[in-house]
Structure formats: C-alpha cells, structure tokens
Chain A
Amino acid sequence: MATIGVLLTGGPFQYEHWETAVDIGDAALAKGHKVKYFFYLDGVYNPVSYQTFPDLDVMPKDRVQELVAKGAEIIACGICVNARGLQGGKDYVEGANVGGLPDFAEIVGECDRLVTL
C-alpha cells in the first residue's frame, strides 16, 4: 500500500479541483492507501463548516469530513488560513487541522506519490 500526498490549492465554489482531489482520495482510501492532504492558498476554504449553497446537496466540507472519517489526514496552511480571516481554522469541520509548511515538508518526505491540484 502506498502513501499518497495531495497538495490542494483550489478553493470551493469557484473551481472544481477540490472535487478531483477528494475523488482521488476516496478511491485511494477504498484501496487501502494512506492519503495525506495539505490545503494551501484558497484550498484552506474547503473545510469551513458553515458552507451553504442552494444548488449543492453535499458541500465540500462534507466531503472533507467523510475523508477524515475514512482515515485521511488533513492539514491546512496556517498562514493561508489566517490571511483569509479564518482565525486559526476555528470553524473547521472536526479532524481538519491547521499546521504549516513544515507539515507539508513532512508529507513530501513520507509520501510515495504527490498529486497537486
């Protein structure tokens, strides 16, 4: 089994990279791989728990939470989080953590493959 790192810079509700990132993670977890995400730049908007949007039944944050429940590790860049006024990720869904680039460096060290979206 492999460890797959995913660097996600795409935010929700404007671009759809987050969806590809989540779908890859879902498929990888189902195969028994480890998946570790680092959310960078607008990617840090994905785990915000107060997301609402009339056209979507399942919000990006719901998919993030499902990934966590299936064993994915999720770390968001703290500088990016605070730059966007997300205040240390206080409104993040359970299991989405705030860290920093050293965490990303660690993911780079641990992963067998890195996908960036």
Chain B
Amino acid sequence: MSNLYLVDQPYGGNGVNLAVQDSDAVVVLIQDGVYLDVSGLSGAGRTVYAVKRDVERRGLESRVPSTVKRIGFDELVDLIEANKVVNFA
C-alpha cells in the first residue's frame, strides 16, 4: 500500500513537496491540479497520474507530459482502494 496523493490547486503544491520526498508516493492530479509542474516528481521517480477528463477539458493534452498517465474514474477508484489517500484537493 502506497501513499496516494490526491492533488488539486490552490495548495496541491504542499502535497507535491511532500510526495517528492516520499519514496512510497503515487500522485494523482485532479481538476486544476493538472496545471502543476510535476517535473520534480518525475525526476524523483514517482508515478504520476492525471484525470483524463480534467486534462482534456483544459486543452492540456500536449502540455501535460506523456509520462503522466491519464486515468478515468474507474481506475481512480481502484487506486483509492489500493492505497492510503493523502488529500490535497
């Protein structure tokens, strides 16, 4: 069981800062969280997901890095079930 950081704006950066240091972190960007710079997370080797609809609606398909895995709510629920949720949304 990993720590699943659910991250949105305006203060999702607080969660990102912790997740960078947390070797057991998995991060999901939701809503405006998809605007966050996740290079630090990817650089630290963390798996980052984003809610596909939230990326698409904002026209960010080409701007959110391809290393960020797009997921639907079905997969989000599986991640929630399998991990401890750390809320920053």
Contact = CB atoms under 8 A, between A and B. Distances in A.
A–B proximity contact (CB within 8 A): yes
Interface of A: 2, 4, 16-17, 20, 23-24, 26-28, 30-31, 33, 112-117
Chain A residues touching B, majority SS? mixed
Interface residues of B, number: 17
Contacts, number: 47
Interface of B: 6, 8, 30-31, 51, 72-74, 76-78, 80-81, 84-85, 87, 89
Contact of B73 (A2, A24, A113, A114): A24
B31 A20 contact: yes
12 contacts: A4-B80, A20-B31, A20-B89, A27-B73, A27-B74, A27-B76, A27-B77, A30-B74, A31-B74, A31-B78, A116-B89, A117-B8
